[in-house]
């Protein structure tokens, strides 16, 4: 599951990517074979989730699974 990280919250990519020219026709990030093709993989993450910097400057994380209770 992809999420957009800000300093104070997590956002669904659809709320931001719909205005991006590089987004898919559905207004979602271009996620292809486990990689974000409209951004660059960041090397400085702590290993908890792969993080990318998109062309619009947002940080996007690939969170596997979801939150557990």
Q: Divide the 69 residues of the chain into consecutive groups of 10 and give the mean pLDDT of each group.
A: 88 89 89 86 74 90 62
Where exactly are the structural domains of the chain?
Answer: 2-62
Residue 45 confidence (pLDDT): 60
Looking at residue 69, what is its pLDDT? 36
Distance CA 51, CA 38 (A): 13
CA 69/CA 61 separation, integer angstroms = 20
* pLDDT for the residue numbered 67: 47
Query: Residue 46: what pLDDT?
Result: 66
Q: How many CB atoms lie within 10 A of CB 49?
A: 15
Beta bridge partners of 59: 5, 53
Query: Could you give the dihedral angle defined by the CA atoms of residues 17, 18, 20 and 24, in that order, rounded to the nearest 10 degrees?
Result: 90
Q: What is the pLDDT of residue 65?
A: 54
């Amino acid at each position: 599951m992809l999420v957009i990280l800000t300093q104070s919250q997590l956002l669904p990519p659809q709320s931001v990517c719909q205005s991006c020219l590089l987004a898919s026709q559905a207004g979602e990030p271009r996620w292809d074979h486990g990689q974000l093709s409209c951004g660059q993989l960041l090397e400085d993450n702590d290993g908890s989730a792969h993080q990318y910097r998109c062309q619009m400057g947002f940080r996007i994380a690939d969170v596997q699974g979801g939150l557990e209770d």
